[in-house]
Amino acid sequence: NLRVIAPHVGGGFGQKMASYPEDVVIAFLAKTFGRPIKWIEDRRENLLAAMHSKEQVIEIEAALDDDAHADEQHARYAARRALLRSALEKAGFRVDHSEASLYLWSSRDEDCWDTVSWLADRGILVAPGSFYGAAGSRHVRVAFTATDERVAAAVARLAAS
């Protein structure tokens, strides 16, 4: 059994999903010694040792003479944004401050967890706005980074509501 306890520490930015070598070491030690192992670091230690500070070797390939792929991706996200925004607004949502991101900051003027539940009942997963601080408590963050098929399915579920 693996149990990870990550208490709410506030804020919406920083490392969320990265895995580090020490994560494996902690699990190994817990299994080896047959008891829980506790990893403690303060914010300064985290900032010094986390993803942005670790020595990393990264390989990247760039196509400098090909703007077509960037244009296609831009058009793809613009289409997803338009579809989701329209579907959310028809379902009674308001979309705020979502002009230049991969998310729609949406509200039905209710507690964000009620909105999360309402959307989850329709098979649509969103992030509760309260994850990003008290100002988000009446919003949810709807990503349009899923495939076109998944976005279309969400739009259809919203339309059926």
Per-residue confidence (pLDDT) for residue 62, from 0 to 100: 63
Q: How far is CA 75 from CA 16, 82, 97, 109, in A?
A: 28, 11, 20, 31
Give this prediction's pTM: 0.61
Q: Which residue has the higher pLDDT, 1 or 138?
A: 138
Q: How far is CA 153 from CA 86, 87, 131, in A?
A: 14, 11, 25
Q: How far is CA 161 from CA 77, 118, 119, in A?
A: 24, 10, 10
Per-residue confidence (pLDDT) for residue 114, from 0 to 100: 96
- What are the pLDDT digits (tens) for 51-105? 665 665 666 666 667 778 888 888 999 999 999 999 999 999 999 988 777 899 9
3-state secondary structure at position 114:
helix
- What are the pLDDT digits (tens) for 14-62? 565 566 777 778 888 888 888 888 888 777 777 777 766 566 566 666 6
